[in-house]
Structure 1
Amino acid sequence: MAMLKRLAAWLSDLRLAIVLLLLIALSSAVGTAIPQGDPPVSYIDAYATSPWLGLLHGEEVLRLQLDHVYSSGWFLALLAWLGLALILCSWRRQWPALVAARRWIDYRTTRQLSKLAIAESQACPDPSQGLTQLETVLRASGWEVQRKSQRLAARRGAIGRVGPLLVHTGLVLLMLGAAWGALAGNRLERFLAPGRSLDLLDRDGSSQLTITLDRFAIDRDPAGRTEQFRSALKLQGPNQSLDVEISVNHPLRHRGITIYQADWSLATISLQIGRSPVLELPLQTYPELGDQIWGLVLPTRPDGTEPVFLSLDSEQGPATVFDADGQQIARLQPGGPAAEVKGLPMRVDSVLPASGLLLKRDPGVPLVYLGFAVLLVGGGLSLVATRQLWAIATDGTLSVGGLCNRNLAAFANELPQLVQQVVAASADPGQRHQQG
């Protein structure tokens, strides 16, 4: 039993909680710095020649579960450890403090009052009347008063003791919601071209929701820089249909699913070569050429020889054409005139952009929101000072003592003024008549 008490005392130690919070914050920073949820081969390739922070290659990143920090076993263990520490702290300290604040303590002698943090004694011609006057003043100021013969006890702000309990409860709810979301949540990233659809299936394999991209627009500034992406979506499910627009920082939350406007890409290019019909050809990314470079390799002869490479960096064009030696041979503006490429007229009719959608299902979100709400309420209540006051009337003396858990200096200045006011009022017959 003694060992369990020592273990509980160690687990609920404030210094340990601070260390755990620092470790969780550091782990979250690592999860922000390292891309999360990518295929394992991407980490091996990314950190093959330049290790992360000069220390970790891709294999070490995968071994330490840094590719999925927030759902890793060690991160969830840190959250569980911190949650246990908060629960034990609430049980061993905050709950007894609340119970003590709600319990009336009866001090019977002036010697007991003199041992309190704040104590004051004043000569009073009529101590009984002074005690009655003190009770009246305290009740008018919102104090709870328990009056007994020749003494009283009063308290105010006992609800402030609930604040730390609510703060701990809110933090535990936050961690439960985060852990639940990391373990049971789903994440899906897809690029959709206008007119294309994405089906979300339930566990039985039937369609739960169909997401169709009606329109996708990219807002640009006069210099051509991207400012905003907008997607007009149509959601269809059993007995429901919804038309909505999403953009960056303005996601859609629908039946437990959050749809974010995450990125954009180029889907297809429509070309006319010679007298051919307009051909819609898919584009692909070329990371080795740049972050946002799309293109395709196109043969110019029926036998597949003399290929050219078309590249674009936006849906506005132009499409730059290179030969097999990497020499630029033409620039084609979407919707513009044709240009000769390898002896053939080539024209770009249009370029179709694609919307990058990020879909998240996080069952822990309600718990996270509830945890934030409880945390805010608890933080506000924690600012309320809990004050306790006792007074004893003896022969010719009114003795008052008090305790306060917050801003003790202000209470120490306020209490003597209160006693002097009460003594002066009890000594004034007119004031006694007015109070009666």
Structure 2
Amino acid sequence: MTVDNSTSPKVNFFSLPVRFLKREVLPILTNLRLAIILLLIIALFSVSGTVIEQGQSPAFYQANYPEHPALFGFLTWKVIQVVGLDHVYRTWWFLALLVLFGTSLTACTFTRQLPALKAAQKWQYYDKPSKFKKLALSAELDHISLNSITPILTKNRYKIFQELENNDILYARKGIVGRIGPIIVHIGIVMILLGGIWGAMTGFMAQEMIASGDTFQVQNIIESGAWTSQDVLKNWAVKVNRFWIDYTPKGGIDQFYSDLSVVDNDGKEIDHEQIYVNKPLRYHGVVFYQTDWGISGVKVKLNNSPIFQLPMALLDTKGQGRIWGTWVPTKPDLSAGVSLLAKDLQGMVLIYDAKGKLINTVRSGMSIPVNGINLKVVDIVGSTGLQIKYDPGIPIVYTGFALLMLGVVMSYFSHSQIWVLQVGEKLYFGGKTNRAQVTFEREVLGILDQLTQQGQK
């Protein structure tokens, strides 16, 4: 026996996932509570990324966030590193929150904002007096011509629609841009999120400590995204022409500067900038910030010897301030020597013997006798601390912020609508608005007063 299945219903398996998304997933994504919760969570972790130092070494977090006592009773270095609070903006879960929030806004835009805009663009004439009773504001005027209202509405910046076949019906509106504003706001926020994600996935951050006079290529990258490419760093380098510090009259640091040149592979200068705090160098999207300083070396001369430069190292002072030191041999067989210490670039150098006793102090350019020789401190060589960032998502973020501000301004415009119907000697007038109800009422009363005055004339 055979069975004819030609009339049996066919199941479209491709439509099942689409139906599930529309019925189950889409209502959740477009839920306002979900969007608010996601926004609060993103804001909370963004604040934590500002408060908790980002990109530091494990030793830094162990020293500043110990287990006993734990900050707030739970925040320790282990929690910070396990959760990823030391690099919040590049963690998978923070990026996932941004994607989910952006998806929610996009879904809301297509399911709510765009239909609302389409509905606002659709309108109909009110051809019956009974329809005016449904409006929040309505009035009946006697012995008023419909044609007399047209110039008044035009003066109030209304766009007027009127049937060619029936001159007794009129519709006017203004502020349709207010319906577009929320859509622009959503687009702006989504662009900000996309820019942040793109920057986190493709950007990098590096730190360099470069001595004055040296040329370097960016290499010490401490943070980078999964899709980061270093092609932007090829075929050019940066030369530190000079680094110096301006001091206050009391000896404190007023500002430190770096004179930088971008050079090609042949050493030819292709860009130049004198940077300081809050004034960086920008080249091909890579930004060089002035963030730190140090002492890289000291130039000395022994008797009539050539000038030679000795490196200076940062010493451990147990939190008592920063000081740099080096050792200068005073005999050819290196059997004797003195230690030089400096704490800044003002030129003061302390000289200690092998037993740790202070022998003398000297400034740059001065000479003193030490261990039977003449020691001259020619100069103290400073080093500039640079933080280098590359974030290709910044233009997208800036565009998103511009759209966000534009959308907010547009959203303040009220979408106001007015209907007018002429039936014999009676003029039916009515209107409504989506916001600024009091202002709209005053405007309507002003229009009615002008019509009444014209009727009395």
Measured against the shorter chain, the TM-score band is: 0.7 to 0.9
1:1-150 matches, within 5 Å, as 1=19, 4-5=22-23, 7-48=25-66, 51-53=70-72, 55-117=74-136, 119-126=137-144, 129=145, 131-148=146-163, 149=166, 150=168
Q: TM-score, normalised by structure 2?
A: 0.83
Distance 1:369 1:158 in 2: 26
Change in 2 beyond 3 A, CA 1:305/1:13 = farther
**Paired residue type of 1:99:** K
1:259 has 2:288 as partner: yes
The unaligned stretches of length 5 or more in structure 2 are: 1-18, 220-228
1:320 has 2:363 as partner: no
Change in 2 beyond 3 A, CA 1:263/1:163 = same
Q: Percent identity?
A: 32
Change in 2 beyond 3 A, CA 1:188/1:15 = same
For 1:195-225, what per-residue CA distance to the aligned partner results, in whole angstroms no more than 9, with x for missing partners? Answer: 2111258867994211111122222222222
Classify the secondary structure of the residue corresponding to 1:384.
Answer: coil
Match among 181, 198, 220 for residue 216 of structure 2: 198
Distance 2:275 2:191 in 1: 30
| Bigger shift: residues 237-246 or 197-206 | 197-206
Change in 2 beyond 3 A, CA 1:12/1:308 = farther
Distance 1:47 1:339 in 2: 49
- Matched residue, 1:214: 241
| Bigger shift: residues 106-115 or 44-53 | 44-53
Match among 231, 247, 268 for residue 258 of structure 2: 231
Change in 2 beyond 3 A, CA 1:286/1:25 = farther
**Paired residue type of 1:224:** G
- Matched residue, 1:394: 423
What value does the CA root-mean-square deviation take over the aligned residues?
3.0
Distance 1:387 1:367 in 2: 34
Q: TM-score, normalised by structure 1?
A: 0.86
- Matched residue, 2:442: 413
| Bigger shift: residues 388-397 or 359-368 | 388-397
| Bigger shift: residues 60-69 or 98-107 | 98-107
- Does the CA contact (< 8 Å) of 1:125 and 1:427 recur in 2? no
- Does the CA contact (< 8 Å) of 2:208 and 2:218 recur in 1? no
Shift of 1:357: 1.8
- Does the CA contact (< 8 Å) of 2:160 and 2:173 recur in 1? yes
Classify the secondary structure of the residue corresponding to 1:146.
Answer: strand
- Matched residue, 1:351: 380
**Paired residue type of 2:275:** I
The count of residues paired between Structure 1 and Structure 2 equals: 423
- Matched residue, 1:159: 177
Change in 2 beyond 3 A, CA 1:292/1:317 = farther
Classify the secondary structure of the residue corresponding to 2:417.
Answer: strand
Distance 1:265 1:373 in 2: 40
Classify the secondary structure of the residue corresponding to 1:338.
Answer: strand
